Amino acid sequence: MPDADALVAAVTEADAAGEPVLLVGGGSNLVVADAGFAGTIVHITSRGRAVVPADDDAVEVTVAAGEPWDAFVAHAVAEGWTGVEALSGIPGTVGATPVQNVGAYGQEVAQTISAVRVWDRMLRGERTFTAAECRFGYRHSRFKADPARHLVLDVTFRLPRGELSAPVGYAELARTLGVAVGERAPLADVRTAVLGLRRGKGMVLDAADHDTWSAGSFFTNPIVDPDVVPAGAPSYPQGDGVVKTSAAWLIEHAGFGKGFGLDRPGARVSLSTKHTLALTNRGGATSDELLALAREVRDGVAARYGITLVNEPVLIGCAL
């Protein structure tokens, strides 16, 4: 895809000059220090899709890194390509999705990615990784583990054809659709249901709703030993003897309810009034204020349950 050449040239020029480089797609998963970023910012806006019929039952579609993610999902649903419909409404770009193995409502991009093409900034050449070589884990990949090395150029997805979704793997979504977990539903119905659920949690941007002024879910769901999970908390086996529990449950039961912080004089940050995982800007907030709230929540959960929450957004020039 031609735009990839311009991306590589911009990053290579900055690397040659010894400049720090910040790669930005949609910017929805970043928290940047109030002092800003001292270096070169490369905004990834490359566009393009190339579709190859894989067989009678599936297509392989290669998508440029700068394509808006939700526009691609909408296109896939309209074309009758299954496997990404539950990832509707997620902001950002296609190229960012393999970095943290984006997932929601029972789907992850790792389930449909067949290859990721990158510019290797260390070897100074293109490389293509198969899904297995991407080392996908929960909100993790080889690209997230080594963020200064790989510039994602495009992502290839293998998507089955069909009018029905992939098996619905998330109980809340299944209830909304009126199906059992593991059953399928019409693609368009799944997309509509997911968008409705996300709006109800303030996870679809609305300029008039400060609950949507956030970097999405701020903490990942902890993966821990089963005996660490508090009584009553959700617990989902992950293999190798560990389980995933709910960060939102831990936050709320540690005393940080929806809207926590709003009652403070002059409050400019708070937990969302719809969803305890979102730390929101109520207007004019600084990154320092947001991070102070994040530390308060993290430390409160650790004191109550002995589990340390980990941030999901990438922190630029700052830390928890």
Q: Known catalytic residues? A: 139, 217, 312
Give the position of tokens 């080889």.
142
Residue 176 · residue 113 · CB < 8 Å:
no
Nearest-10 crossing angle of helices 69-79, 187-200: 150
Structure tokens at 121: 């900034």
Beta-bridge partners for 125: 120
Residue 221 · residue 243 · CB < 8 Å:
no
Question: What are the Cα distances from residue 231, in Å, to 66, 226, 235, 250, 320?
Answer: 44, 10, 10, 11, 28
